[in-house]
Structure 1
Amino acid sequence: MATWNRDTPRIRTRGGVPFPTRRFSRILHLSQYRAELQLTALSSNYELYGDMSRRTMEVLARFTPDLEVYSIDEAFLRVSPRIAGDVQALADLGRDIRDTVRRLIGVPVCVGIAETRVLAKLSNRTAKKLPVFDGVCVWPGTRPDWRLSLMKRLPVSEIWGIASRLERRLVAMGITTIADLAAADPVQIRKAFNVVVMRIALELRGIPSIAAEEDRTGKKEQLIVSRSFSEKITTRAGMRQALSVYAQQASARLVKHQQVAKLLTAFAGTSHYSEQRSFPSVLVKLPAPTADPVELTRAAHTLLPLLEDGTRYARAGIMLTDLRPAHVYEPLAPFRHPHEDLGIAELIEKVQRREGRDLLGLGYAGLRPGPAWQMKREMLTPRATTHWDELVTALA
């Protein structure tokens, strides 16, 4: 099993002077490079990031018929049985993947190859952290005593799937390192925790126990649209517009993934450091599973009576759960609203996909000019791969 991750460590140079990456800045004191560093603040470029991820996945698909896209910047590739036992062939494959993605896409990646998913993730992290591997780590090709030494040094929280709360419970049992969990009795681990932790322990021993997941880009268990505000919202009117925008965005995502939702949770919150602390939320059971923006907006607005004018809300969002395939569920006529037959959700999604997300809005979500609380993106870098008007101009 091989994994890739885009964040391969590199030492770059500017004018012949070493320029430390994020990892090396933890080791080398920043003052050593104060004269050479020039920092620039840039806005988040989600469009470019998503497009580069899509292109990277297309390149990775050339190396295997069995590609599992795990997240926007991670994927699992199943290695051909023909070379599964050949360490040199696996190393050559890893370097080929690394070099091809760098050449065709222009982004650095690192590759970890191992017998199980958990070990592949650990191998990937090793390739990223230790320069000696140059971005490619074949776990079976390393010495057993070195692997054991590494696992004894790394805390159990370094394992994929072990969060801080679970780590505290493991530490209470005397399991503090990865080696401790690998050596633990799987039956006792299951009794003390659950089958998921037991499978992680088995995978650390090289026993495949975690099955492949379906493509997450099209089949989600929940959908969340949430943002922190650039300027605090202090009125119900302002929050009404924010919830309307989020409901419309959630509707567009459901349509894109051909899903409908049955449950909606709307929430808002102040800063955790604010003297005014308020975190209202409401759970709404929709009359029928739907992706209709009108119904989702109406449900989200049930949060408004719980808000207090004058409270400085820093964040709000919508979470949709109990998602179902749209083609499977077809509600009876008495449970459908007339406007749902007009296909408003599909129309908005189609227009926004072709002309831009901000061109068309429904109700309060369509008010112009844009609200002050929206994310500020004045320092946005060009999105040349997805926007014609931002293509680079070359002059000869």
Structure 2
Amino acid sequence: MKNPNIDYGSYPDRGILCVDMKSFYASCAAVARGLDPLICPLAVVADMERRGSVVLAATPAMKEKYGIRTGSRLFEIPSVPEIVIVSAQMKTYLEISTQVTDLFHKFVPKEKIHTYSVDESFLEVGNGEGRFSNPEETAQMIIDELKETFHLDAAIGIGPNMLLAKLCLDLEAKKKGVARWTYDNFREKLWPVAPLSEMWGIGPRLERRLNRMGIWSVGQLAKFPLEQLEKAFGVMGNQFFYHANGVDLSDPGAPIIQGQVSYGKSQILLRDYHKPEDVKYVILEMCEEVARRARRKGHAGRTISLGIGYSKTEGGSGFHRSVSVEHPTSITMDLYRACLVLFSRYYNGEVVRKISISLGNITEDSDIQLDLFQHARDRKRDLGYVMDEIRERYGQDMLLRAVSWTDAGTARHRSRLVGGHYAE
């Protein structure tokens, strides 16, 4: 079957800006100390007391001069007088991020802004019909004002929709400062992209599956038979095809890739975990968090996934497997039992350093038909919501499972963090 013809004239050019604050955390830390983030070698680390602590951000000078970047370790930073090392101050970064969003209100109304992350936002400015002329001029005005007001640098990708704006940012604007993709020029910029993991939304596992189908570049994905993609990936195959062809109908505030709703959590452990029982303690804590995130949205899911990453001392490999349960659930112990099945089946006894858990195949929790032969199931589900309400009102550490008080538990430590880091 022939692929459908795409009429780009039927899709509006909404003039979407994807604004990325360059080296945001490191730049904020430098400016707060009266330093120039463009020339000062500064690194932000998660925990100053741990030599193996991860570098969360680094200024351009730190990257270029010393090769220290996000993901490096504290012990890798040279002992040089000009280098500045600071701990993460997430509360401060969040406050500055809020002030930056307030600045955006000068250019577009609140409903046209989507804060994607602490340092990245989408703004819908229109295609040359707004109060600030064309999108390129608006983008440059925003960059100039960010420098003048906050002494922070930014890059802005412009596109007719959210997807192309994001891809323009990642693939071109981060090098140039401001760049614009349109329905007329995106093919020459996007289709040559390879490997496929350079395409936003395609991770290593998905890339390998597409490679096995003979798809190695975005252009090949765009021309691949749609029917075969849908057969292999379902509705996501349809989205892969249209995204590779530059089509995205998401509104600011909605996920860029619709239909990928899932709830998950991943953490790199603070130390190597040698005992399987200790790993299970952390899995239980994380199942509690994933279930809570689903309940917060009134959702439940059927597919539970567990990922285990082994320590670098073991070669850094691991596994990622999923299992589907009969009834959608948001009950912590349901997730935990499923994870234990996967863990016992695939764990090979190596030292563990990373754990990830997710709940997918989502449905509305209120739509679930309760099993008449499991009389306590409705009470277990309701209990989860009651526990969530107590935590929201009195703090996340007010109700913790007993495993969190063991040496293996991590929840007590994480409850003192903001955005995963100490709130200083």
Range into which the TM-score falls when normalised by the shorter chain: 0.5 to 0.7
CA distance in 1 between counterparts of 2:377 and 2:295 reads 18
Question: Counterpart of 1:232 in 2: which secondary structure?
Answer: strand
Q: Equivalent residue for 2:248?
A: 210
Which stretch has the larger CA shift, 56-65 or 341-350? 56-65
* Contact 2:285/2:411, CA 8 A, preserved across alignment: no
- Alignment-derived partner of residue 391 in structure 2: 352
Per-residue deviation, 1:244: 1.5
More moved, 242-251 vs 339-348: 339-348
Q: Which has the higher contact order (CA 8 A, sep 6+)?
A: 1
Query: Aligned equivalents of 1:152 and 1:263: distance in 2?
Result: 33
One-letter amino acid of the counterpart of residue 234, structure 1: H
> Residue 19 of structure 1 corresponds to which residue in structure 2?
40
2:296 to 256, 277, 296: 256
* Cα distance in structure 1, aligned partners of 2:317 and 2:244: 41
Paired with 1:340 and 1:66, the residues of 2 have a C-alpha distance of 42
Please give the alpha-carbon distance, in whole angstroms, between the structure 2 residues aligned to 1:266 and 1:38.
39
Q: 1:273 to 1:6 in 2, by over 3 A?
A: same
Separation of aligned partners in 2, 1:156 and 1:240: 36
Q: Which has the larger radius of gyration?
A: 1
Alignment of 1:268-307 (within 5 A): 268-271=308-311, 273-274=313-314, 279=319, 283-285=323-325, 288-303=327-342, 305-306=344-345
1:275–1:137 distance in 2 versus 1, CA, 3 Å: closer
> 1 CA distance for matches of 2:369 and 2:149?
44
Equivalence for 2:19: 4
* Separation in 2, partners of 1:91, 1:290: 47
The aligned counterpart of 1:315 is: 354
Between the aligned partners of 2:40 and 2:272, the Cα distance in structure 1 is: 37
3-state DSSP of counterpart to 1:349: helix
The change in CA–CA distance for 1:225 and 1:118 in structure 2 (over 3 A counts) is closer
Superimposed CA distance per residue, residues 331-378 of structure 1 (whole angstroms, 9 cap, x where no aligned partner): 36555525626732222222322333233113x44x42x534639979
Equivalent pair of 1:230/1:373 in contact (CA under 8 Å)? no
C-alpha distance in 2, partners of 1:75/1:15?
Answer: 24
Q: What amino acid does structure 1 have at the position aligned with 2:138? A: L
Alpha-carbon distance between aligned partners in 1 of 2:317 and 2:126, rounded to the nearest angstrom: 55
2:311 maps to amino acid: S
User: Does structure 1 retain, via aligned residues, the 8 Å contact 2:370–2:377?
Assistant: no
Query: SS of the residue aligned with 1:80?
Result: coil
Offset from partner CA, 1:81-114 (integer Å, 9 cap, x none): 5627x99543443245446667888865432223
Find the residue that maps to 2:126 and give its secondary structure. Answer: coil
Deviation track 1:287-340 (CA, whole Å, cap 9, x = no partner) reads: x32222243334434456448796422233322111112344353655552562
How far, CA to CA, are the matches of 2:150 and 2:295 in structure 1?
Answer: 29
The alignment partner of 1:360 has SS state of coil
The aligned residue for residue 247 of structure 1 is: 287
Structure 1, 212-221 or 248-257: larger mean CA deviation: 212-221
Query: Are 1:235 and 2:278 an aligned pair?
Result: no
Q: Name the residue aligned to 2:364.
A: 325
2:158 to 98, 113, 116: 113
TM-score (norm 1): 0.65
Whether the aligned pair in 2 keeps the contact of 1:261 and 1:320 (CA below 8 Å) is: yes
Q: CA deviation at 1:271?
A: 2.7
1:199 matched residue in structure 2: 242
* Number of equivalences: 358
Distance 1:307 1:372, change over 3 A: same
Provide the secondary structure at the position in 2 that maps to 1:18.
Answer: coil
Post-superposition Cα deviations, 1:54-78, rounded to whole Å, max 9, x if no partner, equal: 7756765671434455556444332
CA contact 1:236–1:304 (8 Å) conserved in 2: no
- Structure 1 residue identity aligned to 2:126: S
Same amino acid, percent of matched pairs? 13
Counterparts of 1:149-160 in structure 2, within 5 Å, are 159-160=199-200
**CA displacement, residues 148-189 of structure 1 (integer Å, 9 cap, x when unaligned):** 99889986765545667479959x88x87x9xx4xx896567
Q: How far apart, CA to CA, are the structure 1 residues paired with 2:227 and 2:259?
A: 31
Letter in 2 for 1:211: L
Q: Secondary structure at the match of 1:19?
A: coil
Q: Which residue of 2 aligns with 1:40?
A: 85
Partner of 1:83: 129
The separation in 2 between residues aligned to 1:6 and 1:226, in whole angstroms, is 24
TM-score (norm 2): 0.61
Q: Is the 8 A contact 2:319 2:346 kept in 1?
A: no
The 1-side partners of 2:116 and 2:321 are apart by 30
Structure 1 unpaired stretches of 5+: 204-208, 392-396
Letter in 1 for 2:22: D
